């Protein structure tokens, strides 16, 4: 029996030594790098999207790669003010905040504008950049025998201003056209408030 134990002693010692070496190496192996969990887009999202849980997924980013203002929770139901690419982290400047002008530069004002074509307003989303134009109001029916007078061309009032929001139309709203809200400076706001005639918009590239 003692002879058998003697024969096993060396293999067992080698096995225990290998196990000890493996434990030592595991202890020395660096752990996973630290990461921060933030919310990102689960797919390409256009501006104006009202965020649903399926639009977002958790991203694990190195601390140095986390953008300023990255959101970690409570984004469902918020509205995007700009497009978001799949996998891009969601930040506070990409969503409408508690105030209309959250994320805009100091001195910006929110200017409500009623455009003549309600169908055009349905094409607009927060973050779109638009020109707002005015066309002279109609002068009424032409006098019989009088030559038609050429209509004055539309004039640009403000150029490349961002859409802040497009409020839903109220059921009891009897006015023509549709209301939109754009971000402007104060001189632009004054020009819009003083505008006469029919207002229309064109969508620009920003």
Domain count, the chain: 2
Contact of 59 with 38, CB cutoff 8 Å: yes
200 and 115 co-located in one domain: yes
Give the integer Cα–Cα distance in Å for 178 and 18: 78
**130-145 per-residue burial string, b: 16 or more CB within 10 A, e: under 16:** bbbbbbeeeeeeeeee
115 and 87 co-located in one domain: no
Q: pLDDT tens across 45-101, in order?
A: 876 677 889 999 999 999 998 998 899 988 887 777 777 899 999 998 777 766 677
Environment class of 31 (CB within 10 Å of its CB; exposed 0-12, middle 13-18, buried 19+): exposed
pTM: 0.54
Residue 191 is assigned to a structural domain of this protein: yes
Domain of residue 80, residue span: 36-94
Q: pLDDT tens across 164-199, in order?
A: 888 776 555 667 888 898 999 999 999 998 887 789
Residue 1 is assigned to a structural domain of this protein: no
Q: Residue 70 is part of a domain; what is its CATH number?
A: 3.90.1210
Residue 180 is assigned to a structural domain of this protein: yes
Give the integer Cα–Cα distance in Å for 172 and 24: 76
Residues in the chain: 206
């Amino acid at each position: 029996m003692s002879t058998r134990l003697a024969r096993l002693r060396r293999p067992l010692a080698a096995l225990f030594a290998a196990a000890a070496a493996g434990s030592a190496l595991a202890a020395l192996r660096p752990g996973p790098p630290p990461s921060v969990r933030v919310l990102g887009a689960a797919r390409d999202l256009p501006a104006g999207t009202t965020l649903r849980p399926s639009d977002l997924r958790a991203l694990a980013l190195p601390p140095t790669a986390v953008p300023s203002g990255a959101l970690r929770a409570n984004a469902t139901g918020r509205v995007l003010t700009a497009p978001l690419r799949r996998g891009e982290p969601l930040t506070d400047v990409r969503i409408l905040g508690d105030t209309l002008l959250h994320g805009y530069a100091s001195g910006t004002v929110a200017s409500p504008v009623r455009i003549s074509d309600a169908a055009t307003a349905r094409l607009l989303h927060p973050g779109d950049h638009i020109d707002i134009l005015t066309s002279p109001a109609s002068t009424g029916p032409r006098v019989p025998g009088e030559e038609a007078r050429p209509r004055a061309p539309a004039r640009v009032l403000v150029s490349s201003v961002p859409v802040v929001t497009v409020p839903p139309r109220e059921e009891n709203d009897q006015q023509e056209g549709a209301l939109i809200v754009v971000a402007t400076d104060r001189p632009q706001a004054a020009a819009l408030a003083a505008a006469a005639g029919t207002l229309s918009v064109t969508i620009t590239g920003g």
